[in-house]
Amino acid sequence: MSLSLTAHWPDFTQGIGRVLAIPFVQLRLRAMSALHAAETPAANEHQFRFDASRLGRAELLAELLAPPPDAALVDRCTVADTPLPSAVESAIARKLASARELILRDLLEKMRGSPVFDKPESITEWLRLHCAGLDHEVFLVIYLDAQHRLIAIEQLFRGTLTETSVYSREVVKAALAHSAATVAFAHNHPGGGLEPSRADQCLTGTLKAALSLIDVRVLDHFIVAGAQHYSFAEHGLI
């Protein structure tokens, strides 16, 4: 039997908070810096980079079920508003990263093979979770068949805080590799702000023109900023 973490995410996250003896909203704020560190390449060979995407489902569940950090210590630090020890922050970050990875996979599995643009809420939920907490831009391509059924979602490019270099040749190659008939794009704005820039609109037009040469249609381009998203299609920009 498969555990659906998506359906139980509110209870699940609150449960992590209870195990650690602190409200989940405080846990999330305290762990954010550690979560960034866990997903950032190590500054030196002695630091460990935790990449949840490389773990199997059983390994991710093992991370979640591992003994929690010292709850009493976490409680004292919370009351005193002092930093958590790095080992505790790392343990919290690993649990959060593992939980997020499981939910992303659960959502993706539910969407795969379905006409996701009939109800795009699932796609936008997945995109918000994928981009949550990132301090750099990423560019993703959503590959679909002619009936708009999901084939795959792929992060093709990674950039800086304010920009990402996107190459139309690579996007065309990837669309062909996935045998996609239609695609959609997504990228995040780590600094906030949902409005597409002129560069965002020009890039969308360039990619649209390049993909039209291989008869691949562009359905939408999403911008994700925090818990919000912007749809080019909804605003008549596709």
pLDDT digits (tens, 9 = 90+) for 135-160: 999 999 999 999 999 999 999 999 99
Residue 193 phi/psi, 5° resolution? 90, 120
Looking at the structure, tell me whether residues 143 and 173 fall in a common domain.
Answer: yes
Looking at the structure, tell me whether residues 143 and 36 fall in a common domain.
Answer: no
Looking at the structure, tell me whether residues 88 and 129 fall in a common domain.
Answer: no
Looking at the structure, tell me whether residues 179 and 211 fall in a common domain.
Answer: yes
Strands 182-188 and 217-225: parallel
Q: Take residue 145 and report the two structure tokens written for it.
A: 């068949």
Task: State the residue range of the domain holding 49.
Answer: 9-109
What mean pLDDT, rounded, does the chain reach? 82
Neighbours of 201 (CB within 10 A): 13
Judged against a pLDDT cut of 80, whether residue 169 lies above it is answered with yes
Looking at the structure, tell me whether residues 100 and 174 fall in a common domain.
Answer: no
Looking at the structure, tell me whether residues 121 and 59 fall in a common domain.
Answer: no
Question: Per the domain annotation, does 127 fall within a domain?
Answer: yes
Which range of 8-12, 96-100, 215-219 scores highest in mean pLDDT? It is 215-219
Judged against a pLDDT cut of 60, whether residue 34 lies above it is answered with no
CA distance 64 to 16: 9
| Between 67 and 200, the higher pLDDT residue | 200
Under a CB-based contact definition with an 8 Å cutoff, are residues 184 and 222 in contact?
A: yes
């449960």: which residue's tokens? 15
Single out the residue in 109, 132, 161 at which a domain terminates: 109
Question: Which CATH number does the domain housing residue 140 bear?
Answer: 3.40.140.10
Question: Per the domain annotation, does 1 fall within a domain?
Answer: no
User: Could you report the per-residue pLDDT of 176-192, keeping only the tens digit for each?
Assistant: 999 999 999 999 999 88
pLDDT above 70 coverage of the chain, percent: 75
CA distance 217 to 201: 16
Question: Per the domain annotation, does 2 fall within a domain?
Answer: no
- pLDDT band at 15; cut points 50, 70, 90: low
Single out the residue in 74, 109, 144 at which a domain terminates: 109
Looking at the structure, tell me whether residues 118 and 227 fall in a common domain.
Answer: yes
Looking at the structure, tell me whether residues 105 and 162 fall in a common domain.
Answer: no
Question: Per the domain annotation, does 4 fall within a domain?
Answer: no
Neighbours of 151 (CB within 10 A): 18
Judged against a pLDDT cut of 50, whether residue 24 lies above it is answered with no
Residue 225 phi/psi, 5° resolution? -140, 105
Instruction: Determine whether 165 is exposed, middle or buried from the number of CB atoms within 10 Å of its CB (0-12, 13-18, 19+).
Output: exposed
- Please tell me the least confidently modeled range out of 20-34, 132-146, 213-227: 20-34
Looking at the structure, tell me whether residues 187 and 169 fall in a common domain.
Answer: yes
Please enumerate in sequence order all residues whose Cβ is within 8 A of that of 41, keeping only pairs 6 or more positions apart, or say none: 49
Looking at the structure, tell me whether residues 94 and 123 fall in a common domain.
Answer: no
Total structural domains in the chain? 2
CA distance 140 to 108: 14
Strands 150-158 and 228-231: unpaired
């846990």: which residue's tokens? 27
Question: Per the domain annotation, does 158 fall within a domain?
Answer: yes
User: What pLDDT is recorded for position 113?
Assistant: 94
Under a CB-based contact definition with an 8 Å cutoff, are residues 148 and 180 in contact?
A: no
User: What pLDDT is recorded for position 228?
Assistant: 93
